[in-house]
Amino acid sequence: MEKEVFRNFLYKRGLKLTKERQRILDEVFALHGHFDPEELLLRMKNKGMKVSKASVYRTLPLLVASGLIEQVEKNDKHAHYEHTFGHGHHDHLICMKCGRVIEVYSPKLEAIQNELCRESDFDGMTHTLEIKGCCCDCRQGG
Amino acid sequence: MEKEVFRNFLYKRGLKLTKERQRILDEVFALHGHFDPEELLLRMKNKGMKVSKASVYRTLPLLVASGLIEQVEKNDKHAHYEHTFGHGHHDHLICMKCGRVIEVYSPKLEAIQNELCRESDFDGMTHTLEIKGCCCDCRQGG
DNA sequence: ATGGGTGCAAATTGTTTGCAACTTA
DNA sequence: TAAGTTGCAAACAATTTGCACCCAT
Protein backbone atom coordinates (compact mmCIF):
# COMPACT_ATOMS: atom_id res chain seq x y z
CA MET A 1 0.00 0.00 0.00
CA GLU A 2 1.47 3.29 -1.08
CA LYS A 3 0.26 5.09 2.00
CA GLU A 4 2.40 2.84 4.16
CA VAL A 5 5.44 3.52 2.05
CA PHE A 6 4.90 7.23 2.35
CA ARG A 7 4.13 7.17 6.05
CA ASN A 8 7.25 5.18 6.68
CA PHE A 9 9.35 7.49 4.54
CA LEU A 10 8.08 10.54 6.41
CA TYR A 11 8.52 8.90 9.77
CA LYS A 12 12.16 8.12 9.11
CA ARG A 13 12.78 11.79 8.46
CA GLY A 14 10.78 13.16 11.33
CA LEU A 15 8.13 14.53 8.98
CA LYS A 16 4.41 14.33 9.42
CA LEU A 17 1.64 12.73 7.42
CA THR A 18 -0.80 15.60 7.27
CA LYS A 19 -4.26 15.56 5.76
CA GLU A 20 -3.02 17.58 2.82
CA ARG A 21 -0.23 15.15 2.08
CA GLN A 22 -2.64 12.26 2.26
CA ARG A 23 -5.05 13.93 -0.11
CA ILE A 24 -2.28 14.65 -2.56
CA LEU A 25 -1.05 11.08 -2.38
CA ASP A 26 -4.57 9.76 -2.93
CA GLU A 27 -5.20 11.97 -5.89
CA VAL A 28 -1.85 11.12 -7.48
CA PHE A 29 -2.70 7.44 -7.28
CA ALA A 30 -6.26 7.97 -8.44
CA LEU A 31 -4.77 9.39 -11.60
CA HIS A 32 -3.99 7.11 -14.52
CA GLY A 33 -1.06 8.53 -16.44
CA HIS A 34 1.11 11.61 -16.40
CA PHE A 35 0.26 14.85 -14.67
CA ASP A 36 1.76 18.17 -13.82
CA PRO A 37 1.41 20.09 -10.56
CA GLU A 38 -1.13 22.57 -11.92
CA GLU A 39 -3.28 19.79 -13.32
CA LEU A 40 -3.23 17.92 -10.05
CA LEU A 41 -4.18 21.04 -8.15
CA LEU A 42 -7.06 21.75 -10.49
CA ARG A 43 -8.45 18.23 -10.19
CA MET A 44 -8.35 18.45 -6.45
CA LYS A 45 -10.05 21.83 -6.37
CA ASN A 46 -12.74 20.52 -8.70
CA LYS A 47 -13.41 17.68 -6.31
CA GLY A 48 -13.73 20.24 -3.54
CA MET A 49 -10.55 19.07 -1.82
CA LYS A 50 -8.77 21.68 0.20
CA VAL A 51 -5.12 22.10 -0.77
CA SER A 52 -2.93 25.01 -1.68
CA LYS A 53 -0.64 25.28 -4.62
CA ALA A 54 2.28 25.60 -2.19
CA SER A 55 1.48 22.27 -0.58
CA VAL A 56 1.33 20.54 -3.91
CA TYR A 57 4.69 21.97 -4.87
CA ARG A 58 6.10 21.02 -1.49
CA THR A 59 4.72 17.50 -1.48
CA LEU A 60 5.62 16.28 -4.97
CA PRO A 61 9.36 16.29 -4.25
CA LEU A 62 8.68 14.21 -1.15
CA LEU A 63 6.81 11.67 -3.21
CA VAL A 64 9.72 11.55 -5.61
CA ALA A 65 12.19 11.10 -2.77
CA SER A 66 10.08 8.29 -1.36
CA GLY A 67 10.20 6.51 -4.70
CA LEU A 68 6.44 6.56 -5.19
CA ILE A 69 6.45 8.85 -8.19
CA GLU A 70 8.97 9.88 -10.81
CA GLN A 71 9.61 13.03 -12.71
CA VAL A 72 9.35 11.93 -16.30
CA GLU A 73 9.66 14.97 -18.49
CA LYS A 74 10.52 18.61 -18.26
CA ASN A 75 10.28 19.38 -21.91
CA ASP A 76 7.82 22.13 -22.46
CA LYS A 77 7.27 24.49 -19.60
CA HIS A 78 6.45 22.49 -16.54
CA ALA A 79 7.50 19.33 -14.78
CA HIS A 80 5.58 16.13 -15.49
CA TYR A 81 5.26 13.30 -13.04
CA GLU A 82 3.83 9.81 -13.00
CA HIS A 83 3.36 7.34 -10.22
CA THR A 84 5.55 4.28 -10.43
CA PHE A 85 4.59 2.26 -7.39
CA GLY A 86 3.37 -1.19 -8.47
CA HIS A 87 3.63 0.01 -12.00
CA GLY A 88 7.01 -1.22 -13.22
CA HIS A 89 9.73 0.69 -14.94
CA HIS A 90 9.18 1.71 -18.53
CA ASP A 91 10.31 4.29 -21.03
CA HIS A 92 8.54 6.67 -23.38
CA LEU A 93 7.96 7.27 -27.04
CA ILE A 94 6.93 10.88 -27.48
CA CYS A 95 5.15 12.07 -30.60
CA MET A 96 6.38 15.48 -31.56
CA LYS A 97 3.28 16.31 -33.57
CA CYS A 98 0.45 15.50 -31.19
CA GLY A 99 2.33 15.07 -27.92
CA ARG A 100 1.06 11.54 -27.38
CA VAL A 101 3.16 9.49 -24.99
CA ILE A 102 3.47 5.74 -25.49
CA GLU A 103 4.91 3.60 -22.73
CA VAL A 104 7.33 0.86 -23.68
CA TYR A 105 9.58 -1.56 -21.90
CA SER A 106 12.67 -3.46 -22.95
CA PRO A 107 14.58 -5.83 -20.70
CA LYS A 108 17.53 -5.45 -23.03
CA LEU A 109 17.77 -1.85 -22.01
CA GLU A 110 18.39 -2.85 -18.44
CA ALA A 111 21.30 -4.94 -19.65
CA ILE A 112 22.69 -2.04 -21.61
CA GLN A 113 22.46 0.22 -18.61
CA ASN A 114 24.59 -2.23 -16.68
CA GLU A 115 27.07 -2.53 -19.47
CA LEU A 116 27.49 1.20 -19.98
CA CYS A 117 27.87 1.74 -16.26
CA ARG A 118 30.45 -0.97 -15.91
CA GLU A 119 32.55 0.56 -18.67
CA SER A 120 32.63 3.92 -16.92
CA ASP A 121 32.88 2.58 -13.38
CA PHE A 122 29.59 4.26 -12.64
CA ASP A 123 26.99 3.13 -10.15
CA GLY A 124 23.79 3.52 -12.13
CA MET A 125 20.53 3.74 -10.22
CA THR A 126 17.84 4.55 -12.75
CA HIS A 127 17.56 5.51 -16.34
CA THR A 128 15.21 7.49 -18.51
CA LEU A 129 14.91 6.81 -22.21
CA GLU A 130 12.85 9.06 -24.40
CA ILE A 131 12.45 8.41 -28.08
CA LYS A 132 11.05 11.33 -30.02
CA GLY A 133 9.40 10.95 -33.35
CA CYS A 134 6.00 10.60 -34.95
CA CYS A 135 3.20 8.26 -33.93
CA CYS A 136 1.18 6.15 -36.37
CA ASP A 137 -1.91 8.38 -36.20
CA CYS A 138 0.02 11.49 -37.10
CA ARG A 139 1.82 9.78 -39.94
CA GLN A 140 -1.47 8.75 -41.54
CA GLY A 141 -3.31 11.98 -40.82
CA GLY A 142 -0.60 14.33 -42.04
CA MET B 1 32.17 23.86 -41.26
CA GLU B 2 29.38 24.69 -38.90
CA LYS B 3 29.08 28.24 -40.12
CA GLU B 4 28.16 26.99 -43.57
CA VAL B 5 25.51 24.72 -42.15
CA PHE B 6 24.01 27.59 -40.23
CA ARG B 7 24.23 30.07 -43.07
CA ASN B 8 22.54 27.61 -45.35
CA PHE B 9 19.84 26.86 -42.80
CA LEU B 10 19.09 30.54 -42.34
CA TYR B 11 19.13 31.21 -46.06
CA LYS B 12 16.55 28.53 -46.74
CA ARG B 13 14.21 30.25 -44.33
CA GLY B 14 14.84 33.79 -45.45
CA LEU B 15 16.67 34.62 -42.24
CA LYS B 16 19.89 36.57 -41.92
CA LEU B 17 23.30 35.71 -40.56
CA THR B 18 23.89 38.69 -38.33
CA LYS B 19 27.03 39.46 -36.37
CA GLU B 20 25.32 38.49 -33.16
CA ARG B 21 24.30 35.11 -34.52
CA GLN B 22 27.81 34.50 -35.74
CA ARG B 23 29.28 35.38 -32.37
CA ILE B 24 26.87 33.09 -30.61
CA LEU B 25 27.66 30.27 -32.99
CA ASP B 26 31.39 30.79 -32.52
CA GLU B 27 31.16 30.82 -28.80
CA VAL B 28 28.97 27.72 -28.70
CA PHE B 29 31.55 25.83 -30.72
CA ALA B 30 34.45 27.24 -28.73
CA LEU B 31 32.85 25.60 -25.73
CA HIS B 32 33.75 22.03 -24.82
CA GLY B 33 30.80 20.43 -23.13
CA HIS B 34 27.36 21.41 -21.94
CA PHE B 35 26.18 24.92 -21.35
CA ASP B 36 23.08 26.84 -20.51
CA PRO B 37 21.96 30.17 -21.98
CA GLU B 38 22.99 32.20 -18.96
CA GLU B 39 26.43 30.64 -18.91
CA LEU B 40 26.95 31.33 -22.58
CA LEU B 41 25.88 34.91 -22.17
CA LEU B 42 28.26 35.42 -19.27
CA ARG B 43 31.20 33.97 -21.17
CA MET B 44 30.52 36.26 -24.08
CA LYS B 45 30.20 39.32 -21.89
CA ASN B 46 33.45 38.43 -20.16
CA LYS B 47 35.17 38.30 -23.50
CA GLY B 48 33.77 41.72 -24.25
CA MET B 49 31.48 40.45 -26.98
CA LYS B 50 28.35 42.46 -27.55
CA VAL B 51 25.17 40.38 -27.32
CA SER B 52 21.96 40.68 -25.44
CA LYS B 53 20.24 38.02 -23.44
CA ALA B 54 17.32 38.24 -25.85
CA SER B 55 19.51 37.38 -28.82
CA VAL B 56 20.94 34.38 -27.06
CA TYR B 57 17.47 33.12 -26.23
CA ARG B 58 16.34 33.78 -29.78
CA THR B 59 19.34 32.15 -31.43
CA LEU B 60 19.66 28.90 -29.50
CA PRO B 61 16.39 27.50 -30.87
CA LEU B 62 17.64 28.28 -34.37
CA LEU B 63 20.81 26.33 -33.70
CA VAL B 64 18.71 23.43 -32.48
CA ALA B 65 16.50 23.60 -35.54
CA SER B 66 19.54 23.60 -37.78
CA GLY B 67 20.80 20.43 -36.12
CA LEU B 68 24.00 22.01 -34.86
CA ILE B 69 23.19 21.75 -31.19
CA GLU B 70 20.86 19.68 -29.07
CA GLN B 71 18.94 20.31 -25.92
CA VAL B 72 20.19 17.65 -23.58
CA GLU B 73 18.67 18.25 -20.18
CA LYS B 74 16.09 20.35 -18.51
CA ASN B 75 16.43 18.92 -15.09
CA ASP B 76 17.19 21.63 -12.62
CA LYS B 77 16.06 25.10 -13.54
CA HIS B 78 17.25 25.88 -16.99
CA ALA B 79 17.72 24.28 -20.37
CA HIS B 80 21.09 22.71 -21.14
CA TYR B 81 22.53 22.42 -24.61
CA GLU B 82 25.54 20.86 -26.24
CA HIS B 83 26.83 21.08 -29.77
CA THR B 84 26.59 17.91 -31.74
CA PHE B 85 28.05 18.83 -35.11
CA GLY B 86 30.93 16.46 -35.94
CA HIS B 87 30.51 15.04 -32.51
CA GLY B 88 28.37 11.93 -32.94
CA HIS B 89 25.34 10.86 -30.97
CA HIS B 90 25.87 9.74 -27.41
CA ASP B 91 24.04 9.45 -24.14
CA HIS B 92 24.73 10.55 -20.59
CA LEU B 93 25.56 9.17 -17.19
CA ILE B 94 24.72 11.81 -14.63
CA CYS B 95 26.16 11.71 -11.13
CA MET B 96 23.57 12.82 -8.64
CA LYS B 97 26.14 13.76 -6.03
CA CYS B 98 28.56 15.97 -7.91
CA GLY B 99 26.62 16.61 -11.11
CA ARG B 100 29.36 15.23 -13.34
CA VAL B 101 28.19 14.17 -16.77
CA ILE B 102 29.89 11.26 -18.53
CA GLU B 103 29.26 10.70 -22.21
CA VAL B 104 28.71 7.15 -23.41
CA TYR B 105 27.72 5.47 -26.62
CA SER B 106 26.21 2.09 -27.39
CA PRO B 107 25.38 0.87 -30.87
CA LYS B 108 23.06 -1.66 -29.26
CA LEU B 109 20.92 1.17 -28.08
CA GLU B 110 20.24 2.22 -31.64
CA ALA B 111 19.02 -1.30 -32.33
CA ILE B 112 16.74 -1.18 -29.33
CA GLN B 113 15.29 2.12 -30.45
CA ASN B 114 14.36 0.52 -33.74
CA GLU B 115 12.89 -2.49 -32.05
CA LEU B 116 10.75 -0.52 -29.61
CA CYS B 117 9.52 1.73 -32.38
CA ARG B 118 8.61 -1.13 -34.63
CA GLU B 119 6.54 -2.73 -31.89
CA SER B 120 4.52 0.45 -31.41
CA ASP B 121 4.36 1.43 -35.06
CA PHE B 122 6.19 4.58 -34.16
CA ASP B 123 8.53 6.54 -36.38
CA GLY B 124 11.42 7.29 -34.02
CA MET B 125 13.76 10.11 -34.91
CA THR B 126 16.09 10.57 -31.95
CA HIS B 127 16.46 9.31 -28.45
CA THR B 128 17.84 10.55 -25.19
CA LEU B 129 19.06 8.15 -22.54
CA GLU B 130 20.06 9.42 -19.15
CA ILE B 131 21.36 7.10 -16.48
CA LYS B 132 21.41 8.65 -13.04
CA GLY B 133 23.56 7.33 -10.27
CA CYS B 134 26.89 7.88 -8.59
CA CYS B 135 30.28 8.28 -10.26
CA CYS B 136 33.44 6.53 -9.13
CA ASP B 137 34.94 9.63 -7.50
CA CYS B 138 31.92 10.22 -5.34
CA ARG B 139 31.72 6.59 -4.33
CA GLN B 140 35.29 6.64 -3.07
CA GLY B 141 35.17 10.09 -1.55
CA GLY B 142 31.87 9.64 0.30
C1' DA C 1 3.72 21.68 23.89
C1' DT C 2 6.87 21.53 20.09
C1' DG C 3 8.28 21.38 15.84
C1' DG C 4 6.82 20.59 11.51
C1' DG C 5 3.02 22.17 8.08
C1' DT C 6 -0.31 25.16 5.97
C1' DG C 7 -2.10 29.03 3.09
C1' DC C 8 -1.48 33.19 1.26
C1' DA C 9 0.69 36.56 -1.27
C1' DA C 10 4.97 38.40 -2.49
C1' DA C 11 9.48 37.20 -4.43
C1' DT C 12 12.51 34.64 -7.69
C1' DT C 13 14.03 32.79 -11.81
C1' DG C 14 14.19 31.31 -16.49
C1' DT C 15 12.34 32.72 -20.69
C1' DT C 16 9.48 35.53 -23.95
C1' DT C 17 7.80 39.70 -26.12
C1' DG C 18 6.61 44.70 -27.77
C1' DC C 19 8.68 48.27 -29.87
C1' DA C 20 11.67 51.78 -31.93
C1' DA C 21 16.08 51.99 -34.01
C1' DC C 22 19.36 49.41 -36.88
C1' DT C 23 21.46 45.89 -40.36
C1' DT C 24 21.76 42.60 -43.88
C1' DA C 25 20.74 40.78 -48.37
C1' DT D 1 15.02 49.62 -49.19
C1' DA D 2 12.42 46.05 -47.47
C1' DA D 3 12.37 42.58 -44.18
C1' DG D 4 14.42 40.65 -40.66
C1' DT D 5 17.13 41.73 -36.07
C1' DT D 6 18.71 43.95 -32.10
C1' DG D 7 18.56 45.62 -27.19
C1' DC D 8 16.05 47.06 -23.60
C1' DA D 9 12.75 46.73 -20.28
C1' DA D 10 8.41 45.15 -19.20
C1' DA D 11 5.61 40.88 -19.22
C1' DC D 12 5.08 35.98 -18.19
C1' DA D 13 4.78 31.52 -16.10
C1' DA D 14 6.38 28.04 -13.15
C1' DT D 15 8.08 27.43 -8.84
C1' DT D 16 9.78 29.00 -4.22
C1' DT D 17 9.64 31.36 0.08
C1' DG D 18 8.53 34.39 4.48
C1' DC D 19 5.49 34.53 7.93
C1' DA D 20 1.75 34.03 11.26
C1' DC D 21 -1.38 30.72 12.51
C1' DC D 22 -2.48 25.55 12.73
C1' DC D 23 -2.13 20.60 13.76
C1' DA D 24 0.28 15.91 14.13
C1' DT D 25 2.96 13.56 17.34
Q: For chain A, give every residue range classified as CATH 1.10.10.10.
A: 1-87
CB contact under 8 A, A95 and B121: no
Backbone φ and ψ of A27, nearest 5°:
-65, -40
The DSSP secondary structure of A30-96, one letter per residue, reads H--S-B-HHHHHHHHHHTT----HHHHHHHHHHHHHTTSEEEEE--SSS-EEEE-TTS---EEEEET
Q: Does A133 touch chain B (CB under 8 A)?
A: yes
Q: Which of B75, B125, B129 sits opposite A133 (nearest CB)?
A: B125
In the 8-state DSSP scheme, what is residue B93? E
Q: Which of B124, B130, B136 sits opposite A127 (nearest CB)?
A: B130
CB contact under 8 A, A112 and B121: no
Q: Give CA–CA dist B115/B117, Å, rounded.
A: 5
pLDDT of residue B24: 97
Q: Which CATH class is domain A1-87?
A: mainly alpha
Chain-centroid distance of CA A10 in Å reads 19
Find which of A91-100, B55-64, B82-91 is predicted with most confidence, using mean pLDDT: B55-64
Cβ-Cβ contacts under 8 Å, B120 against chain A:
93, 102, 104, 135-136
User: Would you say the C-beta of B78 is within 7 Å of strand C?
Assistant: yes
Alpha-carbon distances of A61 from A32, A65, A114, B96, rounded to whole Å: 19, 6, 27, 15
Structure confidence at residue A100 as a pLDDT band (50, 70, 90): confident
Q: Give CA–CA dist A112/A108, Å, rounded.
A: 6
Structure confidence at residue A75 as a pLDDT band (50, 70, 90): low
Q: Which CATH class is domain B90-142?
A: alpha beta
Q: Give CA–CA dist B121/B49, Å, rounded.
A: 48
pLDDT of residue B101: 85
Instruction: Report whether pLDDT(B74) > 70.
Output: no
Chain A residues 1-60 with a CB less than 8 Å from chain B:
none
Structure confidence at residue B141 as a pLDDT band (50, 70, 90): low
Cβ-Cβ contacts under 8 Å, A96 against chain B:
125
pLDDT of residue A141: 66
pLDDT of residue A76: 65
For residue B48, the SS3 value is coil
Q: For chain B, give every residue range classified as CATH 3.30.1490.190.
A: 90-142
**Mean local confidence (pLDDT), A97-123:** 91
Chain A residues 96-115 with a CB less than 8 Å from chain B:
96, 102, 104, 106, 108-109, 112-113, 115
pTM: 0.81
Minimal C-alpha gap between A129 and chain B (Å)? 4
Q: Which of B95, B115, B122 sits opposite A135 (nearest CB)?
A: B122
Q: Give CA–CA dist A134/B52, Å, rounded.
A: 35
Minimal C-alpha gap between B47 and chain A (Å)? 31
CB contact under 8 A, A117 and B93: yes
Name every residue whose Cβ is closer than 8 Å to that of residue A32 and which is 6 or more positions away in sequence. Answer: none
Sort residue A30 into left (φ over 0), alpha (ψ -120 to 50) or beta: alpha
Q: Which of A75, A123, A136 sits opposite B134 (nearest CB)?
A: A123
Instruction: Report whether pLDDT(B142) > 60.
Output: no
Per cent of chain A over pLDDT 90 is: 64
Per cent of chain B over pLDDT 90 is: 63
Q: Which of A39, A12, A11 has the alpha carbon at shortest distance from A24?
A: A39
pLDDT of residue A128: 87
Q: Range with the lowest mean pLDDT among A3-12, A27-36, B6-15, B67-76?
A: B67-76
CB contact under 8 A, B112 and A113: no
Q: Range with the lowest mean pLDDT among B81-85, B86-90, B119-123?
A: B86-90
Minimal C-alpha gap between B76 and chain A (Å)? 9
CB contact under 8 A, B120 and A93: yes
